[in-house]
């Protein structure tokens, strides 16, 4: 089968990773790019040798010549661009956060379903090597049935220099980063029935919350904590590692800083290294995220080729996005939020 041809919209900070990864993906190539900022369009077009360039997405869709679109813009344009893709019967990948509101996200899923086009959210953190290793160990039964978990991301890394818009929104860490941690909690322990959250803003220079602590009740009866912070000052900076603790009926699993995995089960203690690869185009400390970008884009390409559903489809992501909205609602009201009622 001939390779799939893709279009990428949004040639900003993170799209560089996506463009590098597309070069490594087997079965797809980016043949056209779009950015409303001509300077970004030129930088990315020249760096990756893409001749077809547009400053207007509607004109690009009108001209066509591609099999899917990769939307790498910030959230403000996601709904309009996904709707444009559906109107042109074009399968679409959309970056996180999927939408501004859960209602928008539901409409985007519905419009793609009506058009019969696949829609995947670029929810890449669950594709990180250490997270996949944790899932595989759990599935092997090594710690029995998990009844408790903690998914933790606590950092003092300056994310604002590369992504200045993160300092400007009324919402920050849950919408930007906690969204990934909540998705990992779902991926590892299953869907969530209710949630309680508390937030804080510690950094006076930003508008949104930079600390959140979230208590989750999972459908399988497990309880977990998702705790995220960009206001912490650990002695050794862990960015961008997610640390995991799981307690099960037969043992415990710990994913600790430095990608160290320790499993204590009926057969004793086993320690292993779940470090991500440093891809040729990657740079530390981002290499963990960069490797997961390649993994999710390969997954999209494989599923588009065989007609299968992606694991982070738009429909799946509604269940993660609902946790984001519920966390903000709970932090405001002080009460637990029923997730089923939101979906
Ligand atoms: P950015 O502002 O650097 O880049 C966005 C680009 O999109 C800009 O060049 C802008 O001109 C362009 N753009 C915006 N609207 C457009 C439109 N309607 N048509 C054409 N071009 C348009 O942002 P970024 O930091 O690259 O982030 C992009 C998205 O990636 C965000 O949603 C962010 O949350 C997400 N992100 C994801 C990860 C991850 O690991 N999944 C990591 C970082 C950022
Ligand atoms: O935007 C965020 C993301 O998705 O991963 C890390 C990040 O770049 C900063 O929090």
In this structure, the residue with its CA closest to atom 8 of ligand 2 is 159
The number of C-alpha atoms within 13 Å of 29 and in the hemisphere containing its C-beta is 9
* Number of the ligand 1 atom closest to the C-alpha atom of 81: 18
Residue 15: helix, strand or coil by DSSP?
helix
* Number of the ligand 2 atom closest to the C-alpha atom of 240: 6
Say if residue 146's pLDDT is above 80: yes
Q: Tell whether pTM > 0.80.
A: yes
Residue 210: its pLDDT value, please? 99
Say if residue 137's pLDDT is above 70: yes
Instruction: For tokens 């309009």, name the residue.
Output: 80
Residue 239: its pLDDT value, please? 98
Say if residue 9's pLDDT is above 90: yes
Residue 1: its pLDDT value, please? 44
**CA 175–ligand 2 middle distance (angstroms):** 10
Q: What interface predicted TM-score (ipTM) does this complex get?
A: 0.99
Cβ atoms of 340 and 318 closer than 8 Å: no
Q: DSSP state, 164?
A: G
**CA 310–ligand 2 middle distance (angstroms):** 22
Which whole number is the average pLDDT over 56-67?
98
**CA 55–ligand 1 middle distance (angstroms):** 15
Residue 52: helix, strand or coil by DSSP?
strand
Q: What percent of the chain has pLDDT over 90?
A: 99
Give the number of the ligand closest to the Cα of residue 56: 1
Mode of pairing for the β-strands spanning 252-256 and 28-34: unpaired
> Can you tell me the distance from the alpha carbon of 159 to that of 141, in angstroms, rounded to the nearest whole number?
37
In this structure, the residue with its CA closest to atom 10 of ligand 2 is 177
CB atoms within 10 A of CB 277: 12
Does residue 106's CB lie within 6 angstroms of at least one atom of ligand 1?
no
Token duo for residue 136: 């595989």
Say if residue 18's pLDDT is above 70: yes
Residue 131 pLDDT class (50, 70, 90 cuts) = very high
Token duo for residue 331: 């932090």
Which whole number is the average pLDDT over 4-31?
98
Cβ atoms of 118 and 192 closer than 8 Å: no
> Ligand 1 pocket: which of 18, 20, 35, 43 to mutate (most atoms <8 Å of CB)?
35
Cβ atoms of 297 and 154 closer than 8 Å: no
Which H helix or E strand runs over 245? strand 243-248
Residue 327 pLDDT class (50, 70, 90 cuts) = very high
Residue 80: helix, strand or coil by DSSP?
helix
Which whole number is the average pLDDT over 131-157?
98
In this structure, the residue with its CA closest to atom 12 of ligand 1 is 10
Say if residue 342's pLDDT is above 80: yes
Which whole number is the average pLDDT over 241-270?
98
């Amino acid at each position: 089968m001939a390779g799939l041809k893709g279009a990428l919209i949004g040639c900003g900070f993170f799209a560089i990773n996506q463009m590098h990864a597309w070069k490594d993906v087997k079965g797809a190539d980016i043949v056209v790019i779009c950015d409303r900022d001509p300077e970004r369009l030129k930088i990315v077009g020249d760096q990756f040798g893409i001749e077809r360039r547009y400053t207007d997405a509607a004109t690009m869709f009108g001209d066509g010549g591609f099999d899917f679109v990769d939307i790498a813009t910030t959230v403000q344009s996601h709904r309009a661009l996904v709707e444009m893709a559906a109107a042109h019967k074009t399968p679409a990948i959309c970056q996180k956060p999927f939408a501004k509101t859960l209602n928008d996200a539901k409409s985007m899923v519905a419009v793609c379903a009506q058009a019969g086009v696949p829609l995947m959210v670029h929810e890449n953190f669950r594709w990180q090597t250490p997270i996949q290793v944790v899932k595989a160990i759990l599935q092997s039964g090594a710690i029995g049935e998990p009844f408790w978990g903690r998914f933790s991301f606590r950092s003092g890394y300056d994310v604002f220099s590369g992504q200045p818009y993160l300092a400007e929104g009324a919402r920050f860490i849950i919408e930007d980063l906690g969204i990934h941690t909540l998705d990992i909690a779902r991926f590892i322990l299953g869907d969530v029935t209710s949630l309680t959250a508390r937030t804080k803003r510690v950094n006076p220079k930003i508008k949104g919350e930079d600390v959140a602590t979230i208590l989750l009740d999972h459908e399988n009866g497990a309880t977990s904590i998702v705790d995220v912070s960009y206001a912490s000052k650990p002695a050794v900076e862990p960015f961008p590692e997610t640390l995991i603790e799981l307690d099960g009926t037969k043992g415990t699993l710990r994913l600790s800083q430095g990608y160290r995995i320790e499993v204590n089960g009926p057969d004793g203690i086993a320690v292993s290294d779940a470090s991500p690869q440093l891809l040729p185009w990657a740079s530390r400390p981002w290499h963990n995220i960069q490797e997961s970008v390649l993994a999710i884009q390969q997954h999209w390409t494989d599923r588009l080729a065989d007609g299968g559903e992606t694991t982070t489809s738009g429909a799946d992501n509604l269940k993660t996005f609902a946790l984001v909205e519920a966390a903000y609602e709970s932090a405001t009201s002080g009460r637990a939020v029923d997730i089923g009622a939101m979906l």
